[in-house]
Amino acid sequence: MTNNNNKLLSSYTLPDGIELKNRIVMAPMTNFSSNPDGTVSEQEVNYYARRSAGVSMVITACTNVTRNGQGFPGEFAAYSDDFIPSLRQLATAIKDQGAKAILQIFHGGKMCPPDLVDGDVVSASDIPAEGANSPIPRALSEVEAEEMIDAFGETTRRAIEAGYDGVEIHGANGYLIQQFFSAYSNRRDDRFGGSLEKRMAFPLAIVEKVKSVVDKHATSPFIVGYRFSPEEAETPGITMDDTLALVDTLADQGLDYLHVSLQDFHSTPRRGVDDLTKTRIAYLLETINNRVPLIGVGSIYSAEDAQKAVESGIPLLAIGREIIIDPDWVQKLAEGREDSIVTKLDKDKQKELVVPDALWGIITNTPGWFPGI
Which residues are known catalytic residues?
Answer: 175
The CA distance from 42 to 237, in Å, is 40
Helix 201-217 and helix 240-250: axis angle, to 10°?
30
The CA distance from 271 to 339, in Å, is 38
Backbone angles phi, psi at 61, to 5 degrees: -60, 160
Backbone angles phi, psi at 294, to 5 degrees: -115, 130
ω into residue 203 within 30 of 0, thus cis?
no
**Burial category of 261 from C-beta neighbours within 10 Å (exposed 0-12, middle 13-18, buried 19 and up):** buried
Q: Among 288, 281, 298, 213, which residue's Cα sits nearest to residue 257?
A: 288
Which amino acid belongs to residue 63? T
Q: Among 229, 122, 145, 151, which residue's Cα sits nearest to residue 192?
A: 145
